[in-house]
């Protein structure tokens, strides 16, 4: 048994123990009803920008390691940056959030909506910011922010990007210059090292701001 196999078995066993107290909950049809509220309260998983970005970042980093492994096997170069696709990153982030919240991607013109039972508890917009000058994406990001400010539940702006390790602070300064509305918003950054298709070592990062 590999280390990963053993870890998977341990996680499955832990999940079974955690779900056991909920077994007495049944729906009208006699089918066990999963209670996300129970788990969220158990783990203190109320939604905030720190948890959202940390979970999305961990999912993206795991995907990067998988792609790096595939690249090595097939004689290619690069990790997650081999696939420069905004939707790809968005769905990976949503997959990370699914471990704690009922996350529905691409719902009602939003990139993601999170529910607790049938109640909306968060709305999320996500953008890939990765062009050379970083200017063309700004209007779209700003439009997303204005949309989020108008909703009635907690709302978050998520940005995916990559750069040389020494450039992250400068890129954040550029973002705040172009999008000053983000300056006073609670924020979280998650970054990890990877390799691009040119075999250069760079940092991939995901950042989030709670705009409402």
The 10s digit of each residue's pLDDT in 65-82 is 999 999 999 999 999 999
pLDDT tens by residue, 87-130: 999 999 999 999 999 999 999 999 999 999 999 999 999 999 99
Instruction: Provide mean pLDDT across the span 169-182.
Output: 97
pTM: 0.80
pLDDT, tens digit, 9 for 90 and up, residues 1-48: 555 456 555 544 554 444 444 443 333 444 334 444 555 554 556 899
- At 31 the pLDDT is 39
Order of strands, sheet of 155-163, starting from the edge strand that comes earlier in the sequence: 102-107, 110-116, 119-128, 155-163, 201-210, 187-195
Got the DSSP string for 34-98? P-HHHHHHHHT----HHHHHHHHHHHHHHHHHHHHHHHHHHT---SGGG---HHHHHHHHHHHHT
For residue 156, which of 203, 117, 211, 94 has the smallest C-alpha distance?
A: 211
| Average pLDDT across the chain, whole number | 86
pLDDT in tens, 137-167: 999 999 999 999 999 999 999 999 999 999 9
């Amino acid at each position: 048994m590999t280390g990963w196999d053993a870890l998977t078995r341990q996680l499955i066993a832990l999940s079974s123990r955690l779900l056991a107290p909920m077994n007495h909950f049944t729906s009208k049809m006699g089918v066990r009803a999963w209670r996300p509220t129970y788990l969220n309260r158990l783990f203190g998983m109320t939604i905030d920008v720190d948890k959202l970005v940390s979970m999305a970042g961990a999912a993206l980093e795991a995907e990067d390691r998988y792609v790096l492994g595939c690249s090595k096997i097939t004689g290619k170069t690069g990790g997650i940056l081999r696939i420069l696709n905004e939707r790809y990153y968005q769905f990976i982030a949503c997959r990370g959030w699914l471990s704690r919240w009922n996350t529905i991607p691409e719902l009602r013109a939003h990139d993601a909506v999170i529910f607790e039972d049938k109640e909306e508890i968060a709305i999320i917009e996500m953008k890939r910011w990765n062009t050379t000058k970083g200017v063309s994406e700004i209007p779209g990001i700003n439009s997303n922010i204005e949309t989020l400010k108008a909703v009635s539940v907690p709302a978050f702006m998520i940005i995916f990007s990559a750069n040389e390790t020494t450039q992250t602070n400068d890129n954040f300064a550029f973002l705040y210059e172009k999008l000053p509305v983000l300056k006073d918003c609670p924020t979280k950054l998650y970054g990890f090292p990877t390799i691009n298709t040119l075999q250069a070592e760079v940092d991939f990062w995901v950042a989030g701001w709670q705009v409402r």
